[in-house]
Amino acid sequence: MSRQLAFLAFLTLSIAVPVSGISCHYGTTEIIDNRKFCTAFYFTDTGYAKFGGESSYPENLSTVLYRFQKEEDCKLLRGIKKKDGSGDTYNMWICVCYDPMCNFPFSYKEFSARGYTLRPSYVPRNNDNESSAEA
């Protein structure tokens, strides 16, 4: 009986440990583990992209999550003030996803061609409409 109990305990721990967090792309070549969700940030003015994940949920969870869990995985934030005091602003796509390795490090060009989404299935966006999404 103790052998069965030990096996059951081992099986329970084996199943429980991997689901404690997900792995995310970090930068373009590294992977970070035990995250609650993965992120991708795309800066429209430079094409720079940043990838990572968070190990805890922010305090203002309802504001940050937007509709990321229900509908959209990415949202365009417009008019973000630069921290250099110049008064200039920029636009940035913020993407949040909840599956392991879901923040694949696409280039900004590929991200825009995919219709501004990280999801595996997408509808290519017409390049004529691209400028209206970023303006």
Q: What's the pLDDT tens digit per position in 35-58?
A: 988 999 999 999 999 999 988 776
Residue 56 placed within a domain = yes
Establish if 16 belongs to a structural domain: no
Q: Is position 11 within any domain?
A: no
Q: How many residues does the chain have?
A: 135
What is the DSSP secondary-structure string of 57-122? --TTHHHHHTTTTTS-SEEEEEEEEPTTSS--EEEEEEEEE-STT-S----HHHHHHTTS--SSS-
Q: How many domains does one find in the chain?
A: 1
Does residue 13 lie within any of the structural domains?
A: no
Q: What are the tens digits of pLDDT across the range 75-132?
A: 899 999 988 989 899 999 999 888 999 999 999 999 999 889 998 876 555 554 444 4
Whole-prediction pTM: 0.69
Full domain range(s) for residue 62 = 21-134
Asked if the structure places residue 14 within a domain, the reply is: no
Cα–Cα distance for residue pair 41/132, rounded to 1 Å: 19
